[in-house]
Chains A and B, each alone.
Chain A
Amino acid sequence: MSIELNQISFCYASHTSYGEYALREVELFIGDGEFVGIMGHTGCGKTTLAQIVAGLLPPFAGTVKIDGYDINKKGYDRKLLRKKVGFVFQYPEHQLFETTVEREVAFGLKYGGLSWNERMERVKDALECMGFAFERVRKESPMSFSGGEKRRIAIAGVLVSDPDILILDEPTAGLDAKSRSSLHKIIAKLNQRGATVLWISHDADSLCKYADRIIVLEKGKIVMDGPPREVFADQTKTEQYQIGTSQARVISEMLQKRGFKFERKPITYQELLDDLCNYFKKGG
């Protein structure tokens, strides 16, 4: 499902004299099935952009089209939007409220018009996707789990409605390494099944690995937009916009200084490994 932003501006506290622009005339097209990483230092407008795409904030000016329909037009069916777009907030575990895990996860299906059995089937899929044994956890209270587990339950509660567009606002902040990489894999899998993914993150390594495209925001404007390799190739800009760079890229840079020659600029460990192997095979 495609996303199209036309001349989007957003201003906080717009009715006062001290209002501040969070987004300035943003133009963006995201095609069906793309995996897009959004980067930029804090306060650059990432979260605002994501919430506008999800229809959670009305833009100050401009239009948002999802699948070709203007979502802020009168008469647009918001229920459809909620079903199509899943949004994982930064601390999703804070949104838990139900008495049992199965009810918590099923909340998003409440108004979907599905039968009980269909709903439970979806809940089971979502929980298993997040690495839970459905029968064991279904009657437990979501509050009784640990932080990381709670977060996975909350994310299951978003995935359960099988969204075509998935927006994630730094969902890995504060997760341990194992849960982080498993979450990355799950999202990548959903993307392969056809979901459009918008991932806000500071983690250059995993974006390099999974994203097709990286967008960098600075002071409410898109300042870089392209495949990870292009974005991270420009070192002056990555430093200027404080987005960091992937470890593999740093290592390859160090190797290059010591005389190694790479044909491309490797940005993931896999690429680095391949390039090194090639280098040694050729006999250095």
Chain B
Amino acid sequence: MGQYMPGNSVFHKMRGTTKLICFFWILTAVLLTDSAAGFFLLFLTAGASIALAGIGLRNMGKTIARLKVFFSVIFLMNLFFFSPEQAWWSCWIFHISPAGFEQGAGVVMRVVFLLVFSRILIATTTPVELTGALEILLLPLGVFGISTGELAMILSVAVQFIPILSKEADQIRKAQIARGAKFESGHLRDRAKSVLPVVIPVFLAAFRRADELALAMEARGYRKTKAQRKQCKFRVHVRDVQAVVLSCAVCITQILL
């Protein structure tokens, strides 16, 4: 985790719930995109969102570059194996066809856009706000007898554990390096061997932490309760409405295109 970037942009000020709803609209739009015009629209939306969120292109570029191997593999698989019809070039089981090229490029672009939009969401929303938003959006499930309060509690506890455990893992990793574990070695075999001395203590730490938390919650009188609604006063701002309408518009345009 640790992906949240403090800031003061419109996106930061927006409610988590709004952002989540917008995110689902955009997600649908990305999945439905199938034409050059559609991708251009997404490109404009992404560009505007990045600029508004004040994340910075370099940061975004880094996020995408981290998955370059994944992207290349998807693209090449599609390029070589899609269809043998109208192939530009064929050899044994490999066929390079225009359809394959299109398919590969389309899939890669869709994943890149998904990555960009989810990065914007996570970078501008604190984990706590995100789980709070999920809790609100899950409320209707209460009709089916699912206790959303507990679900949200589980989610928020899980989310709050991530930074704690990653810090713990970092400490333990350093401690084992100081004792001579070979993380820094270039050999994959050495590195693989060094995994156990970190994984076991982190696992133990997770159990210990969970135990402690359960005790602490009980000591403070936590009971199975109905969904506690933290944000009862849900005031809707103009920007929330604007955001939902805009993202919905993007999605509808995408369907029409």
> Are A111 and B201 in touch, CB under 8 angstroms?
no
A87 to B6 CA separation, bound complex (whole angstroms) = 34
Residues of A within 8 A of B175 (CB): 87, 89, 92, 94-95
Stretch of B80-88, B125-133, B166-174, B218-226 at the chain-chain interface: B166-174
> Are B179 and A158 in touch, CB under 8 angstroms?
yes
CB B61 to nearest CB in A, in angstroms, measures 12
> Are A82 and B174 in touch, CB under 8 angstroms?
no
CB B206 to nearest CB in A, in angstroms, measures 11
Question: Is A85's CB within 8 Å of the partner chain B?
Answer: yes
Question: Is B177's CB within 8 Å of the partner chain A?
Answer: yes
Those of B125-181 within 8 Å (CB) of chain A: 168, 171-172, 174-181
Known A-B contacts A16-B5, A107-B197; the reply to A95 vs B176 at CB < 8 A is yes
The one of B6, B172, B178, B181 that contacts A18, using a Cβ cutoff of 8 Å = B6
Tell me the nearest residue of chain A to B177, going by C-beta.
A56
CB A182 to nearest CB in B, in angstroms, measures 22
Residues of B within 8 A of A94 (CB): 168, 171-172, 175, 201, 204-205
CB A10 to nearest CB in B, in angstroms, measures 15
Question: Is A22's CB within 8 Å of the partner chain B?
Answer: no
Residues of B within 8 A of A107 (CB): 176, 179-181, 197
Question: Is B182's CB within 8 Å of the partner chain A?
Answer: yes
> Are B182 and A89 in touch, CB under 8 angstroms?
no
> Are A97 and B196 in touch, CB under 8 angstroms?
yes
Of the four ranges (under 10, 10 to 19, 20 to 34, 35 or more), the interface on chain A belongs to 20 to 34
B interface: dominant SS: helix
The one of A56, A97, A161 that contacts B174, using a Cβ cutoff of 8 Å = A56
Of the four ranges (under 10, 10 to 19, 20 to 34, 35 or more), the interface on chain B belongs to 20 to 34
Residues of A within 8 A of B178 (CB): 54, 56, 82, 85-87, 158
> Are B180 and A82 in touch, CB under 8 angstroms?
yes
The one of B59, B172, B180 that contacts A95, using a Cβ cutoff of 8 Å = B172
A74-97 vs B, Cβ < 8 Å mask (1 yes, 0 no) = 000011001101110100101111
Question: Is B91's CB within 8 Å of the partner chain A?
Answer: no
Residues of B within 8 A of A86 (CB): 178
The one of A15, A18, A51, A82 that contacts B179, using a Cβ cutoff of 8 Å = A82
Tell me the nearest residue of chain A to B197, going by C-beta.
A97
> Are B180 and A161 in touch, CB under 8 angstroms?
yes
Known A-B contacts A56-B174, A94-B168, A94-B172; the reply to A108 vs B201 at CB < 8 A is no
A54 to B177 CA separation, bound complex (whole angstroms) = 10
B182-206 vs A, Cβ < 8 Å mask (1 yes, 0 no) = 1010000000000011101100110
**Beyond A15-B59, A78-B184, A96-B201, 11 additional pairs, beta carbon < 8 A:** A18-B5, A82-B177, A87-B174, A89-B174, A94-B175, A94-B204, A95-B176, A95-B197, A111-B182, A157-B179, A161-B180
Closest 4 CB pairs of A and B: A87-B178, A97-B200, A108-B179, A95-B175
Task: Enumerate 10 A-B pairs (CB-CB under 8 Å) in ascending A order.
Answer: A79-B180, A82-B180, A83-B180, A89-B171, A94-B175, A94-B204, A95-B179, A97-B196, A108-B179, A143-B204
